[in-house]
Amino acid sequence: MDTKLLFQDAPSLVTPLLAVFAVDLSTGKDATALPALLTTNNALSKAAATVLSSGEFKAGSCETLLLHAPSGIKAERLLIVGLGKVSKLTVHEVRKGAGAAVRFAKPRGLRELAMTLPEAASLSDDPIESLPTQLTARAIVEGAYVGDFDPDTYRSDRKDLSIQMLTVVSNAKEGSSEGKEFQTGVSEGIIFGTSQNFARTLVNEPGNVLTPTVLGARAKAELEPLGIKTEVYSTEKLQELKMGSFWGVAKGSAEPPALVVMTYEPEKATSSEVIGLVGKGITFDTGGISIKPSEGMEKMKYDMAGAAAMIGAMRAIAQLKPTVKVISVVCSAENMPSGTAYKPGDVLTAMSGKTIEIINTDAEGRLVLADGLAYARKLGVTRLIDAATLTGACVVALGMLNAGLFSNDEATWQRFMDGTKLSGENFWRLPCTDEYRDLIKSNIADIMNTGGSRWGGAITAAMFLKEFVEDTPWIHLDIAGCAWMEEQKPWIAKGPSGIAVRSIVEWVRSYA
């Protein structure tokens, strides 16, 4: 998809489809809807006036209504996209609305569309505070890119319905401060949207295609041209670094592991911080000797979504160029049962020197991350974040609308949450206080790789990781429930979601 921005009056734009956003002005739950367009343009309002007063369209979130040959404007079609009640309006609604417009256009074979930037001043002289120009422009473009992604890449009858050209139109004056915000928003939206989609492309790949080696190669091919130093290591390096925990998982597979180290060095750092991003990259999780039930196992190709989020984040960071150094460590392996696989009862020695009694070989993510987190610290990071499809227990606790978040530092957590207001992604904090530490005590070694019982499984996993971050301020994201959309939504396809890319990047640049 190519994107262009235009400083122009929307009615004079020649396009197969022009999307305009609308809100519901009514207050109160059962009040009759009062749809209104988010534009100050008279011709657009006039073209939509009859249908808006008909009561057919309520401007609900992602509700769409199509007018052919709208009168008084040059577009062939006018698509009105609802963003819900004005009192609840956020830029994230705009993001979803833009995705819904794209997903409306795609199956109808429309390869080009335009969208009008919602105007904060459209309803009254008092601008709508929730629609600052830059963020709104960014959200439109992000939403459009996210909406454009479909996962059917391996279908021989696949028709590529992707959008070729997106035009975003604003009536701001080119060169004005608002015009500049519009431009910055659009450029950032492209970076965020394409980076999130890059992560989704990786997660979408089947396990036989995307082995750890291929994951490393794809990261390198994407990031090196963008100026990110990308080193891809394998078995020898794991042994040299004494990564016994990571290697314990990796040694059961015929596919060699990959340790991917990506470094972003700013031209001029304005901060002494070095941010560390660590991702779980299990390209397929069978459970190992503690093998998983076969039902639904095919989904475990997405067990590298944490790694993909970090690679996607590095892709965006390379282009946004924050003035802070970032090092990302991805630990990739395949978790297989075999004659060389690790077993329950084995004791592994992690890079940090801690010994780990294996209770369940399906709790492999924390094992690869243990060495990844320790290695990031060794490389000098001052603040850490990890992302992992770590536990089914987190999905039980939070469902699929919030990812789990754990942190050992209030200020770091707060920063991250502030960023999610911009990214529109949902994370819910769960505890990892030291009272829980007893749950992972072992009789034979320093710690066990699971808590003895099922209870609080997302927390015991976080407690395990906490052993390896020691005193470094740290955030752990358990994205098991959010990395894969079980059903499609109006704004996004079923399949890999690309969760956490936007929030991680926002968090990183808050330190610049």
Q: Does 288 help bind ligand BES (rule: CB under 6 A)?
A: no
Whose Cβ is closer to ligand BES: residue 104's or residue 302's? 302
Q: Indicate the DSSP class of residue 415.
A: H
Strand partners, 260: 232, 330
**Residues 393-432 within binding reach of Zn ion (CB under 5 A):** none
Q: Does 357 help bind ligand BES (rule: CB under 6 A)?
A: no
Question: Rounded CA gap, 105 and 113, in Å?
Answer: 8
Catalytic residue among 111, 180, 237, 292: 292
Q: Which of Zn ion, ligand BES, none does residue 478 bind (CB under 5 to 8 Å by kind)? A: none
Structure tokens at 332: 């990739």
Catalytic residue among 366, 415, 466, 509: 366
Q: Does 281 help bind Zn ion (rule: CB under 5 A)?
A: no
Q: Is 292 a catalytic residue?
A: yes
Question: Rounded CA gap, 377 and 404, in Å?
Answer: 23
**Residues 378-397 within binding reach of ligand BES (CB under 6 A):** 389-393, 395
Stretch near Zn ion under the rule CB under 5 A, chosen from 22-30, 84-92, 278-286, 460-468: 278-286
Length of the chain as a residue count: 512
Give the x-and-dash track for 435-474 against ligand BES (CB under 6 A): ---------------x------x-----------------
Judged by DSSP in three states, 120 sits in coil
Q: Does 363 help bind ligand BES (rule: CB under 6 A)?
A: yes
Question: Rounded CA gap, 252 and 331, in Å?
Answer: 15
For 185, residues 6+ apart whose C-beta sits below 8 A from its C-beta are 133, 134, 135, 136, 137, 138, 139, 140, 141
Cα 30 vs. chain centroid, distance in angstroms?
35
Q: How far is the CB of 284 from ligand BES (least distance, A)?
A: 10
Q: Does 65 help bind ligand BES (rule: CB under 6 A)?
A: no
Give the x-and-dash track for 297-336 against ligand BES (CB under 6 A): ------x---------------------------------
Q: Is 321 a catalytic residue?
A: no
Whose Cβ is closer to Zn ion: residue 33's or residue 390's? 390
By CB atoms closer than 10 A (0-12, 13-18, 19+), residue 46 is middle
Strand partners, 218: none
Stretch near ligand BES under the rule CB under 6 A, chosen from 200-208, 255-263, 357-365, 430-438: 357-365
**Token match 């829980």: residue?**
436
Q: Pick one of 81, 278, 369, 480: the residue that binds ligand BES (CB under 6 A).
A: 480
Q: What element of type H or E holds 274? A: strand 274-285
Q: Pick one of 222, 285, 371, 506: the residue that binds ligand BES (CB under 6 A).
A: 285
Q: Which of ligand BES, Zn ion, none does residue 63 bind (CB under 5 to 8 Å by kind)? A: none
Q: Pick one of 93, 142, 150, 362: the residue that binds ligand BES (CB under 6 A).
A: 362
Q: What is the dihedral of CA 459, 464, 470, 475, to 10 degrees?
A: -40
- Among 300, 253, 251, CA closest to 280: 300
Q: Specify the pairing of strand 35-37 against strand 18-24.
A: antiparallel
Whose Cβ is closer to ligand BES: residue 329's or residue 395's? 395
Q: Phi and psi of 124, rounded to 5°?
A: -160, 180
Give the x-and-dash track for 343-382 against Zn ion (CB under 5 A): -------------------x-xx-----------------
For residues 443 and 455, is the Cβ–Cβ distance under 8 A?
no
Return the active site residues.
Answer: 292, 366
Binding site for ligand BES (CB under 6 A): 285, 303, 360, 362-365, 389-393, 395, 450, 457, 480
